[in-house]
Structure 1
Amino acid sequence: MQTPVYRRIAAELATRLPAPGQRIPSTRQIMAEYGVAMATASKVIAHLRDEGLVYAKPGFGTVVAGAPSADPDRELVVRTAVTIADAEGLTGLSMRRLAGELGIPTMSVYRHVADKEELVLLMMDRVMALNPPPPELDPDRDDWRVCVEALARLQWSMYRRHMWLAQAISFTRPLLAPHAMAHTEWTMRALEGHGLDPNTQFRAAVTVANYVRGTAVNLEEEAQAEQDTGLTDTEWFATQQHRFAEVIGSGRLPLMARFMATPGHELDLDILLDYGLTRLLDGLATQLT
């Protein structure tokens, strides 16, 4: 296959780039020198930028980047990706963004991961590896409920620190992450010897984990809403009181009206998690011997 024109021009320009910090030819200069259209000239600069050779300097133009750092190892790549996702979510994480943070060409990232799906898998497994099941508990000897609840709350704390994590985990198409699977194994061990067949034992472990994960999905949306509006949930709710009053005052929702008039009616995710987890474990207890 013939190399695209923009790639040939980019390769030629790469051999004669000026010193770091100096401007490279503009799109119009590339058009004039190589006799190509504006779209092709723009692709040339975009390709050089994707390779980490240049970057856009606001108010100045596109300039040559500094010398790339040494090629990182996979652990650094994954650790950096986790840091980006913690700050900007999975939508803010791209191979180009990651390469820029590492100071390497975009294509260099692919030496360590095949694609973004594999990258996210490694990120998830790294977080799980850093948060193993509670070492102070032994699921083979300690009370099953204490063990299962402790692991659920550990997972909740992980989701709070890494709000992208709940979006990354799937229980219908699970990613084969060894440390994540170890969480499921730990819960199954806590349920071992209580009369459950293997299928029920596995489903119980996944159901508890998925309840925590399903509640945690709201954390990122909650944080994004606070960032967009500049209001906490409590502050936002206060601004909506008149609208709630209109709906509740209609008389069509008497039970909701009673609830809203009750002290301590916060719509808080931690409260919802506590309530739901307790009821879930209560239900599970009825199946155990």
Structure 2
Amino acid sequence: MTEELLWRRREDEPRQGLSPGRIVSAAIELADAEGLEGLSMRKVADRLGFTTMSLYRHVPGRDQLVDLMRDEVMTEHPADHDGERGWRARLASVARHAWRIRGRHPWLAEIRGTRRLPGPNAVAHYDYMLSTLTGTALTPSEVIAVVGLVGRFVDAEALLLVESRREERRSGVSEEEWWGARDSLYERLDRYPTISHLWTSGGWNHPEDSFEFGLARLLDGVQALIDERDESRDEICEECGTPLKPATSGRPRVYCSRACQQRAYRKRTKTT
């Protein structure tokens, strides 16, 4: 039933009364305000003015509701007008787009599990991310691995937002206020030379943007791999002329297969 709900036609829902769309919208508002831990079918029902049991006629349970919420907030698709700027600019653009969505809905990063069904919007996002690397020297499995790595990085950064907002809701004190009141701790840190050096050098005065810094370093690594693939892309088998796949380790490859290597060896032995 979850798959049918995720891939349903929104325009077929009734305009009046209770519907999956109305339930999902109310649940998103609740999660935005209280985090995923504050989400329950009862609270959503109260927000809508219906009984909890009435919600179950439209959505089977909380887990299915979370899947619907995730797909709904991904309705806004990344703009595909960076095609002329190369893979790196396009992938960075879609990563920032995902980051902005998580800025509005940090609870997205709290959705855990490897068996959550995607809806059409989530699939469209994933397909676009994969397309940013299509045509590069990466192998198909490497394209999939890179996109997964970028996605996990975005979620890891978003979890910091989740944790800080959770603490602020619990304590009523912001991160800046809490750390600003830790004078007794700072007085103890002068015994640590590296921390003291970085402190006096102004290392904490203007901190790096953790998302932008991390994204740039991650993409640097992908760039290095693509450059490495590009350098070996034109290498061909000395025996049959087939393009060679890059060697995973050791010396560069000369032949595309064991058979070509043996044919070349036999040719050499005949001429000697």
TM over 0.5: yes
Instruction: Quote the residue 1:258 is aligned against.
Output: 197
Instruction: Quote the residue 2:40 is aligned against.
Output: 94
C-alpha distance in 2 between matches for 1:161 and 1:144 = 26
| Mapped pair 1:216 → 2:154 | no
Instruction: Quote the residue 1:278 is aligned against.
Output: 216
C-alpha distance in 2 between matches for 1:188 and 1:135 = 13
Letter in 1 for 2:70: M
Higher relative contact order (CA 8 A, sep 6+): 2
Instruction: Quote the residue 1:201 is aligned against.
Output: 143
Deviates more, 1:175-184 or 1:147-156: 175-184
Q: Is the alpha carbon distance of 1:174 and 1:104 closer, same or farther for their aligned partners in structure 2, counting shifts above 3 Å? A: closer
How far apart are residue 231 of structure 1 and its match? 3.0
Match of 1:249 among 190, 199, 203: 190
How far apart are residue 174 of structure 1 and its match? 4.5
Q: Percent identity?
A: 33
How far apart are residue 216 of structure 1 and its match? 0.6
Letter in 2 for 1:143: G
Q: Is the alpha carbon distance of 1:169 and 1:124 closer, same or farther for their aligned partners in structure 2, counting shifts above 3 Å? A: farther
Q: Is the alpha carbon distance of 1:244 and 1:121 closer, same or farther for their aligned partners in structure 2, counting shifts above 3 Å? A: same
User: CA deviation digits over 1:223-247, x for unaligned, max 9?
Assistant: 122233333322222211321331x
Letter in 2 for 1:126: E
Contact kept, 8 Å, 1:191 with 1:201, in 2: the verdict is yes
Contact kept, 8 Å, 1:71 with 1:104, in 2: the verdict is no
Instruction: Quote the residue 2:225 is aligned against.
Output: 287
Letter in 2 for 1:215: E
C-alpha distance in 2 between matches for 1:259 and 1:222 = 25
Letter in 2 for 1:249: D
Q: TM-score, normalization: structure 2?
A: 0.72
C-alpha distance in 1 between matches for 2:101 and 2:55 = 26
Instruction: Quote the residue 2:81 is aligned against.
Output: 136
How far apart are residue 107 of structure 1 and its match? 1.1
C-alpha distance in 1 between matches for 2:65 and 2:36 = 11
Instruction: Quote the residue 1:16 is aligned against.
Output: none
Q: TM-score, normalization: structure 1?
A: 0.68
Q: Is the alpha carbon distance of 1:197 and 1:224 closer, same or farther for their aligned partners in structure 2, counting shifts above 3 Å? A: same
Stretches of structure 1 lacking an aligned partner (at least 5 in a row): 1-69
| Mapped pair 1:240 → 2:179 | no
C-alpha distance in 1 between matches for 2:206 and 2:156 = 16
Instruction: Quote the residue 1:56 is aligned against.
Output: none
C-alpha distance in 2 between matches for 1:108 and 1:228 = 31
Letter in 1 for 2:20: R
Instruction: Quote the residue 1:155 is aligned against.
Output: 98
C-alpha distance in 1 between matches for 2:135 and 2:100 = 29
Q: Is the alpha carbon distance of 1:99 and 1:231 closer, same or farther for their aligned partners in structure 2, counting shifts above 3 Å? A: closer
SS of aligned partner of 1:175: coil
